[in-house]
Structure 1
């Protein structure tokens, strides 16, 4: 069984991945900014790790011991039109979702490269391949994450490191409910914000994503990109077939 380090394991997808992998017999190192939130997880280690803090990352990776697999899951989102979203919020999302993922990958890669084996699994989104209005900053951070992950697949494959990008659609993880919303009173974009539930489509569960992550880790030759569930597969396939010279939306907007 593998030794798996998971970022963002305190709730949602990360917590579900920790439970799923522990149940399959893997050695799980669950991490979060507040390790007390991991107390009830049936895992081997519970460590503090803030993906935006280099010292925190270095210490957690040192304390984790050998890491065969990194599940890079920590992430955040916001709801706002690009016309008025605070740029500090966009920067924050990139620091967590994109640079944070690269920071942890950089910390575990030297040992993987030396051993000649390892797995990097990045939890992305269908929004790493398409966009949704009002969630543009999150989508941009995931597009950037997928560019980094695919580059890593090319650069590190020669050293025996396999990279996979897991792409769920809308997940009932509570992330959307926790997201900061930046709309003014009588904001002209409010009708578009109210249309978001229909645009996000059918919900899947964190456990659905966790099972896909675990299956991917256990495949001898995992694919680079792994859509999670039929809804994600359908919309990503539709995106591939759509014209490249015009914006793509999987559903009509009535606003």
Structure 2
């Protein structure tokens, strides 16, 4: 069984992944900014790890010991139109969702490369390949994350390291930090909230996403991109086949 370090394991998708992998017999190292939130998880180690803090990342990787698999899951989102989103919020999302993922990957890669084996699994989103109104900053961080992950697949594959990007759609019990909504009364973009609920489509469970991640880890030759659940696969296939003359989903919005 593998030794698996999971970021953002205190709730949502990360917690479900930790439970699923522990149940399969893997050595799970669960991490979070608040390690006390990990107390009830049936895992081997519970460590503090803030992906935006280099010292925290270095300490966690040192204390974790050998890591065969990194599941990079920590992340957050906001719901706000691009016209009015505070740029500090956008910067925070990139620090957490994108640069934080790269920071932890940089921490585990030297040992994986030296051993000639390792797995990097990045929890992305269908929004890593498409965009939704009011969630543009989050989508931008996931597009950037997928670019970094695909580059890592090319750069590190020669060293025996396999990279996968898991792409959930809507998750029924929520994932990670609750979305911050920044739409004051009378905001002209408010009608898009109703459209967003329709466009996001059918939900899958946290457990289903966790099973997808665990199955990906256990495959000998995992795919680079792995949709999590039938709804995500359908949306991504529709996006791939859609014409490029107009933004995807623009025809679906009636407001």
TM-score tier by shorter-chain length is: over 0.9
- Cα distance, 1:250–1:15 mapped onto 2, change above 3 Å: farther
Report the number of matched residues.
Answer: 255
Residue of structure 2 equivalent to 1:230: 230
In the alignment, is the contact (CA less than 8 A) between 2:239 and 2:248 conserved in 1? Answer: yes
Correspondence for 1:25 = 25
Q: What SS class does the counterpart of residue 195 from structure 1 fall into? A: helix
Q: Secondary structure at the match of 2:203?
A: coil
Kept in 1, the 8 Å contact 2:74–2:176? The answer is: no
Q: CA deviation at 1:174?
A: 2.5
CA distance in 2, matches of 1:107, 1:143: 22
Q: How does 1:103-252 map to 2 (within 5 A)?
A: 103-175=103-175, 178-249=178-249, 252=252
Q: Which residue number corresponds to residue 47 of structure 1? A: 47
Gaps of 5+ in 1: none
Contact 2:76/2:176, CA 8 A, preserved across alignment: no
Instruction: State the Cα distance separating 1:244 from its structure 2 match.
Output: 1.8
Asked if the contact 1:77–1:175 (Cα under 8 Å) also holds between the matched residues in 2, the reply is no
Whole-angstrom distance in 2 between the partners of 1:248 and 1:175 = 24
- 2:170 is paired with a residue whose SS is coil
What is the SS of the residue equivalent to 2:252?
A: coil
Q: 2: CA distance between counterparts of 1:177 and 1:44?
A: 24
Distance 1:176 1:159 in 2: 32
CA distance in 1, matches of 2:24, 2:91: 37
| Contact 1:47–1:60 (Cα < 8 Å) also in 2 | yes
Shift of residue 113 of structure 1? Answer: 0.2
Given that residues 29 and 45 in structure 1 are in contact (C-alpha distance below 8 angstroms), is that contact kept between their aligned partners in structure 2?
A: yes
2:74 counterpart SS class: coil
Kindly indicate whether the alpha-carbon contact (under 8 Å) linking 1:146 and 1:165 is maintained by their aligned counterparts in 2.
yes
Determine the C-alpha separation between the residues in 2 that align with 1:164 and 1:222.
7
Deviation by residue 1:46-88 (Cα, 9 ceiling, x = unmatched): 0000000000000000000000000000000000000101111
Maintained 8 Å contact 1:74/1:96: yes
CA contact (8 A) 1:164 1:222 kept: yes
TM-score by length of structure 1 reads 0.98
Supply the distance in 2 between the matched residues of 1:44 and 1:99 (Cα, whole angstroms): 27
- Alpha-carbon deviation of 1:179? 1.0
User: Which stretches in structure 2 are left out of the alignment for 5+ residues?
Assistant: none
Distance 2:211 2:251 in 1: 28
User: So what's the TM-score if we normalise by structure 2?
Assistant: 0.98
Aligned Cα root-mean-square deviation (Å): 1.2
Alignment check: 8 A CA contact 1:118 1:160 kept? yes
Residues 82-130 of structure 1 deviation map (CA, whole Å, 9 limit, x = unaligned): 0101111010000000000000000000000000000000000000000
What is the deviation of 1:13? 0.2
Contact 1:235/1:250, CA 8 A, preserved across alignment: no
| SS of match in other structure, 2:130 | coil
